[in-house]
Amino acid sequence: MERSGGAQEMSVSQPQSGRGVPCLRCRGTCTGFEPHSWRKICKSCKCSQEDHCLSSDAEDDRKIGRLLADSKYATLTARVKGGDGVRIYKRNRMIITNPIVSRKDPTFDTITYEWAPPGLTQKLAMQYMELIPKEMQPVAGTDGAHYRRRQLLRQLPVHDHDPSQCRGLDEGELKLMEDFVKKYKAEALGVGEVALPGHTGNAKEEGKAAEKPPETTNGALESTRAVGLYRCETCKQAVPEDCPVVYADRAGYARLWHPACFVCCRCAEPLVDLIYFWKSGAAWCGRHYCESLRPRCAGCDEIIFSEEYQRAEGMAWHKKHFTCLECETPLCSKAFSLDQGSLRCAACSRSQRL
């Protein structure tokens, strides 16, 4: 097994174009991505940017590097040479090479995982992958790799942590966002670690047990093998001693999860690359953590830091973005329809029904 962080492949000056990239949702019906001036959607098919998978590995690594920088997880990033202090994500790839036995010359079957938990032996890393649904395993060139990339865009939108990616922030809003990001990096942001039950952090190298679960009512710890000393925080099922689990240091090492159970408490989607935000005794994805603290504009998808904004049917918009999806007519104090989050003026709503 070979491993690679991929840092040497990073270029800090790659602009995101994406124009013409096909839509994974519309398939053949979309003519290709046509960027909107301020919405995070395709003008052609109205699908989101993540449905077009616009980013590259290098761009994703740069975005996640920006998120983890200036946090206690900065060790998972590397400084780019000549990049003016820019840090990128040291994404751990895993390359498995298996010989194919045949009568002819020996050949090899190579499988590349676009991401794998760092610091594990080949056996433990493969055990972890086998506990993830096959369609979500990030094998290069498969639907699982596309799924991971879409989840990076969906769960960890760059405009939630990088003010330079937001449009039209005034000086006061910029300061609020910078404080918001600094606070959640210090208090909520986390990256899960994979280990066997009872062995986490330095204990993986030193062979020391981690925090043990609470004692039972009679004051005696139950037998690990007989009754199940370790239980998954989500499904509450017992975890075998030889089964890799996920720990979240923000939660304390008495809690652990099956790999497939380490999900966002709001959307129930697996937490991409084990990146989580801890709040109210639960793990959240970045998108829903931010939305639990501040409103998100349904028009531009950015967090709202202004005091005044528009609300309708439990959703929020920047006032300047409360416009018709089709014709861009401002809709404040005007009749509108709202269908599955899509805001339309009366005229365009009638046209849609014809």
pTM over 0.75: yes
Is 132 part of any domain?
A: yes
Q: How many domains does the chain have?
A: 2
Is 108 part of any domain?
A: yes
Choose one of 105, 125, 150: the last residue of a domain. 150
Choose one of 150, 185, 220: the last residue of a domain. 150
Angle (nearest 5°) at CA 285 between 283 and 286: 120
Is 50 part of any domain?
A: no
> What pLDDT does 6 receive?
39
Is 275 part of any domain?
A: no
> What pLDDT does 43 receive?
85
> What pLDDT does 46 receive?
86
Choose one of 129, 150, 171: the last residue of a domain. 150
Is 2 part of any domain?
A: no
> What pLDDT does 7 receive?
35
Interatomic CA distance for residues 244 and 200, integer angstroms:
11
> What pLDDT does 225 receive?
38
Interatomic CA distance for residues 250 and 258, integer angstroms:
17
> What pLDDT does 228 receive?
60
Task: Show the domain range for 110.
Answer: 94-150
Interatomic CA distance for residues 23 and 90, integer angstroms:
29
> What pLDDT does 158 receive?
96
Q: pLDDT (tens digit, 0 to 9) for every residue of the chain, 354 residues total?
A: 444 443 333 333 333 457 888 888 887 788 888 888 889 888 888 888 888 877 788 999 999 999 999 999 999 999 988 767 789 999 999 999 877 776 666 777 899 999 999 999 989 999 999 999 999 999 999 999 999 999 999 999 999 999 999 988 999 999 999 999 999 999 999 999 999 998 875 444 333 444 555 444 444 333 333 346 899 999 999 999 999 999 999 999 999 999 999 999 999 999 999 999 999 999 999 999 999 999 999 999 999 999 999 999 999 999 999 999 999 999 998 999 999 889 999 999 998 876
Which residues have a Cβ under 8 Å from the Cβ of 22 and sit 6 or more positions away? 28, 30, 32, 33, 52
Is 12 part of any domain?
A: no
> What pLDDT does 17 receive?
53
Angle (nearest 5°) at CA 159 between 336 and 192: 120
Structural contact between residues 337 and 344, judged by C-beta atoms closer than 8 angstroms: yes
Please report which helix (H) or strand (E) contains residue 172, including its range. helix 171-187
> What pLDDT does 4 receive?
47
Is 286 part of any domain?
A: no
> What pLDDT does 215 receive?
45
Interatomic CA distance for residues 307 and 227, integer angstroms:
54
Is 345 part of any domain?
A: yes
> What pLDDT does 223 receive?
37
117: nearest Cα among 97, 94, 135: 94
